[in-house]
Structure 1
């Protein structure tokens, strides 16, 4: 439910409608009496779960909401599938599992996939991303969230983020909005998954626990995955003004990595594994547990305070580079010598805290917040002997700390106008300490990074259910410890932070006509000029490792659009056609670079279109085609290696009732061979191993039963 008060009726009503319309949910009638009184607006869906702090999402820029009910109508087992209808996000699994590449507004375009920085991931407003900004060790299980809020770019100010890609906040389900249920799904290539959720509410207490297990053989050789998890939370309403919730998570995920292929290998068999991935038994195995707490205090009718703490431990076991052998004597009697192999085995601890204060003072809606995070990584790098540790080569002892503070005001300065202005201050430190075991030499790049990042925007309420917006914002992103560790200079010098200015305009809303048809939209156009963007390329002397450096000037611009409709085929609205289209157009390039000129940045396609056209009947039946159209992209900074465009066609269907739902999904009907993910080089030779195959023709079914 979204309740709209007279003081904020236009802006909050527009947000409720735009978020709900983005889910394709019906909207109840609205009574505007013209005298400042607006009745309660009830947004109804099968499982209305809009009990979010919607003032955090009310921004003059690109914000998208994903609801879990939509994720049970199709196969969603990784983050890329969850984000299918989020514009501005390019997310692809490298082999169908949790290991993936993702980018928002052109973040992480070096595509080396060793830290996946540029997007701040959060659970219930508390960090999952480490204090230095990397997401290397763990992805979020999408089915563990009831909602996800995706705030792109500087629109993530309310989360304290100033990253290029913004932030994604995954909201956990609770016993108040989730029933006890069993979910099973399975399909091609040995995919099987089961989730059992039990909930209870007793007076002022509630609790939820989910046990999850997933197993898949994978559509590529050497891409098996086994994952198990436990997700639990319990809440206590201490009194009418004070409430608290405890969260517990445990995940054990073991995933084989098939490695990239050359173009010749891809043409011969795109689903084979790289030979080195087999002999080196490439894997990414992560065991993690997390505990968190959030407490909220409604001080009075105009102000509130919330405070949260989180702590997570992760163990990473990651064989990633096979033995690199060099015959120093050519054809002489000396045998080849191993010069490099890599197995990473580390323990990572991350502590996070968050404080938020909200004050409604007349026409001003003020939000202040501060985040603190601290991450440590200890362990080391080993020689890789068929997936087993074979001698410690480097001792790792890294620390990162970060403080993000922000203050913003949403000022209703006229009947249809709201000014949103504020600033973020960030101070963060990096301390990388790598000790070479053989020589006992220590490499210790360390630095502090500080910045104040202003933002100003405006929202024009064109009608009760539509709005226009514009903003100009400053971005700031310090290097991760991984990037400092892999600095191209290889000494104790440090990289500069990336910074830039982004301008954005857009609109969102929904319209109804003839009392039977609805359509909704969400459109953003942005243009950013960045300085000192950090890009990494593969080191030709040590394959599988990356070197990082600052690039003087780059441009990140694009169009992000989500369109959808619900069109009645009869006067009663019993039969409906519901098209949905996610359109992203990217223009990412160097800007008069002394080496690359105005070349396009690699990895992201020029455009990506994902859509569907569903027929729906009031009985609960639905079905229709899905499609993907993806433009070509470059796999090197020199723009000499082009990855082809592709088009995919699929089908999905299902049926839902009050207590159960079932779906079936067929992907890649034409069984097209295509590249989903690729690595990046400076200049990519045609015989380089760069390419990861996308999913072949595949079929999935799933059923959810609530009890």
Structure 2
């Protein structure tokens, strides 16, 4: 065997320790693609070291006693390498609050239709899909609980690979394809501070595979009930200093409910280049086009008797929504300045055209936005104590934002108006700028103090240009401090607590919530805007996470004192014209418990039987509203539970039986009208070939064919009447899938 030169050995050892074990040795965080690179590099360098080590002659001093050589150390370090998801989880464990990491290897063991499948079993996260569409009802700690399924997401910072997808308009949802994701970070509330996430709901960060972690070739097919089918092909490879990953997906779903047919086509790609050991960059591209039918809303009795029907209004108008082709371009460059500090520079551009054909008017939207991030982090020792500091700048700005309404019916008030006549045109604008700094300081062994603060500057504007003119603009400056502690009682148990502020501006289009046109072709549409205040809150949180014997847990309690909460209401008139009204509420309270528990019930040489559970208690209510007193805020259940018994055999066979339980949900602000509580059951059986990237599964969903409302978009006052405010969940369905990867 050829003797390896000392400089080569030291170079390999330095790369191995620097890239793969940085979290363990210095506490510095890795970017998603750095973690992927580290895992692959560690694997390669470990093999080299193990072959090279026996050829290194042990140097002996004069006393003839052997001296231990660095090769032994390099083998020891390589054994500590973590997968990208595990490395991300290790890093998030330093956050003094509720966080979690979702490994997509677990999610891919069954159907991946929408992001509700990815976000299942996440405490504090309410993610429900209706009709199999991409527009989820998504809420964390009560963020955006009144926003329906046909709107940009509100109250949560959404990201791809640490780059913001959220804009001053909110978050366009069509780019969030479930396949082609390596792992997902969920940071609830102000625990998203390091990403510049100062909104009430926190942040969700989807991390994609790279050439260092993906199969060279991979294919996946899913199919099942309601004419559902989905296909994916992907490829990833390392070529010298470069690597690439590309995933192409296509799907179709006829729908359980009438008028919910959905189709999509998407591309997700990235390209990385390592200039040297300290400087690397990665380019990202996403493209996706979708078309979704829109069934409207049903009453409680309609869901109980026939959940497959569509609301008469939308059935007559053949409501549907088209995203003809949204695009996301991004880049993240990492500069490792030295062993103690690094700099991350990110940039992205989005183009999200929308064509909504739901109501009596067609709405065409154009959104082009740009975002930039700067994050500088370093580790030091101050007065002999460990200190970790991060400084960041996050900014997102509308480049072009507009909406045009046209007539799409020749009945009613549009009987004498030519089809496609322009009824109203409006322009929007906004910018969000967050300057934040955070320090974690180890006051004494395993007891860390966290101190942080952010300066927030936001602007919003709305201009109606036709048929009349009207404009509204707002700006705001806020300061969001944060303080907390984390105490590692033992290597596997920690407790934490924090106090923080949150800051959430309205989406730019929400300002168009003023008076309505009372005559002319634009009758029923908003003619002017309103000034909406920025929503703020002070949140107190305490909790624990860890593992003991065969149990792994995470429990958080939070209490938020909310001011100027951004609420919306749906009325029959707003449904007809797509002009939902937004306003600031009187003071409200959000509090809750977020708990998860994974337990290994039985272990034996051939496998294990486990139980995982996720429970969320949510109490959101007015404090002393002039009209509603201390009523609960409608739209979301107070209790939500998911539990699953799992069997995993070492021969590759796996099976599970799970349940989802929800308490009743109020469908009106007067709290007199409710969607009933429900529980549904599902089961999956599959086979994962040991040591091969091949898999098959068969899933049975909603075994009892339960009729239930998965989504509630509340009306104002029910007063004993049944409002059309509910969207049904799917009935009984069977789904199968097969996946194969090759290297």
CA offsets 1:85-131 (integer angstroms, 9 cap, x no match):
11101111121221221111011122344333111111111111113
Which residue is 1:552 aligned to? 586
Structure 1 residues 289 and 309: CA distance shift in structure 2, 3 A: same
1:349 to 368, 392, 411: 368
8 A Cα contact 2:568 2:580, kept in partner = yes
Cα distance in 1, alignment partners of residues 307 and 589 from structure 2: 33
8 A Cα contact 1:399 1:430, kept in partner = yes
Cα distance in 1, alignment partners of residues 590 and 419 from structure 2: 41
2:267 to 230, 233, 252: 230
Which residue is 1:479 aligned to? 506
1:383 to 397, 407, 415: 407
8 A Cα contact 2:588 2:623, kept in partner = yes
Which residue is 1:419 aligned to? 449
8 A Cα contact 2:228 2:254, kept in partner = yes
Q: CA deviation at 1:492?
A: 4.8
What is the correspondence of 1:353-372 to structure 2 with a 5 Å cutoff?
353-362=372-381, 363-372=386-395
What is the correspondence of 1:143-182 to structure 2 with a 5 Å cutoff?
143-179=179-215, 180-182=217-219
CA offsets 1:373-400 (integer angstroms, 9 cap, x no match):
1123124112223999621111121111
Cα distance in 2, alignment partners of residues 391 and 617 from structure 1: 63
What is the correspondence of 1:46-195 to structure 2 with a 5 Å cutoff?
49-52=85-88, 55=91, 58-113=94-149, 114-132=151-169, 134-136=170-172, 138=174, 140-179=176-215, 180-195=217-232
Cα distance in 1, alignment partners of residues 696 and 173 from structure 2: 33
Which residue is 2:341 aligned to? 303
Q: CA deviation at 1:500?
A: 1.2
Cα distance in 1, alignment partners of residues 308 and 118 from structure 2: 24
Cα distance in 2, alignment partners of residues 174 and 389 from structure 1: 48
Q: CA deviation at 1:690?
A: 1.6
1:399 to 429, 436, 458: 429
Which residue is 2:740 aligned to? 705
Cα distance in 1, alignment partners of residues 266 and 99 from structure 2: 29
The SS at the match of 1:87 is coil
Cα distance in 1, alignment partners of residues 127 and 294 from structure 2: 17
More helix by share: 2
8 A Cα contact 1:539 1:545, kept in partner = no
CA offsets 1:214-242 (integer angstroms, 9 cap, x no match):
11101111111110001111110101110
Q: CA deviation at 1:153?
A: 0.7
Which residue is 1:280 aligned to? 317
Bigger RCO of structures 1 and 2 (CA < 8 A, at least 6 apart): 1
Cα distance in 1, alignment partners of residues 532 and 23 from structure 2: 47
Give the number of aligned pairs. Answer: 651
8 A Cα contact 1:488 1:548, kept in partner = no
Q: Which 5+ residue runs of structure 2 have no aligned equivalent?
A: 1-19, 29-34, 36-74, 412-417, 517-526
Which residue is 1:581 aligned to? 613
Q: CA deviation at 1:71?
A: 1.5
Which residue is 2:245 aligned to? 208
CA offsets 1:125-168 (integer angstroms, 9 cap, x no match):
11111134x12553511223211111111111111121111111
8 A Cα contact 1:397 1:433, kept in partner = yes
1:451 aligns with 2:474: no
Q: CA deviation at 1:40?
A: 4.6
Cα distance in 1, alignment partners of residues 243 and 726 from structure 2: 48
Cα distance in 2, alignment partners of residues 386 and 582 from structure 1: 50
8 A Cα contact 2:449 2:486, kept in partner = yes
Structure 1 residues 636 and 687: CA distance shift in structure 2, 3 A: closer
Q: Which 5+ residue runs of structure 1 have no aligned equivalent?
A: 10-15, 17-37, 322-340, 513-517
The SS at the match of 1:444 is strand
Which residue is 2:541 aligned to? 504
The SS at the match of 1:158 is helix
Cα distance in 2, alignment partners of residues 3 and 127 from structure 1: 25
More displaced 10-residue stretch of structure 1: 679-688 or 145-154? 679-688
Q: CA deviation at 1:346?
A: 1.4
1:689 aligns with 2:713: no
What is the correspondence of 1:246-257 to structure 2 with a 5 Å cutoff?
246-257=283-294
Which residue is 1:537 aligned to? 569
8 A Cα contact 1:2 1:51, kept in partner = no
8 A Cα contact 1:214 1:227, kept in partner = yes
Cα distance in 2, alignment partners of residues 413 and 633 from structure 1: 45
Structure 1 residues 268 and 534: CA distance shift in structure 2, 3 A: same
CA offsets 1:311-336 (integer angstroms, 9 cap, x no match):
11111000122xxxxxxxxxxxxxxx
8 A Cα contact 1:112 1:538, kept in partner = no
Q: CA deviation at 1:662?
A: 1.2
More displaced 10-residue stretch of structure 1: 459-468 or 370-379? 370-379
8 A Cα contact 1:432 1:481, kept in partner = yes
The SS at the match of 2:295 is coil
1:604 aligns with 2:642: no
Which residue is 1:333 aligned to? none
8 A Cα contact 2:426 2:466, kept in partner = no
Q: CA deviation at 1:262?
A: 2.4
Structure 1 residues 563 and 261: CA distance shift in structure 2, 3 A: same
2:357 to 319, 339, 354: 319
TM-score (norm 1): 0.88
Structure 1 residues 589 and 2: CA distance shift in structure 2, 3 A: farther
8 A Cα contact 2:88 2:101, kept in partner = no
The SS at the match of 1:154 is helix
Q: CA deviation at 1:8?
A: 5.1
The SS at the match of 1:432 is strand
8 A Cα contact 1:399 1:431, kept in partner = yes
Cα distance in 1, alignment partners of residues 81 and 117 from structure 2: 25
More strand by share: 1
1:465 to 465, 487, 492: 492
Which residue is 2:438 aligned to? 408
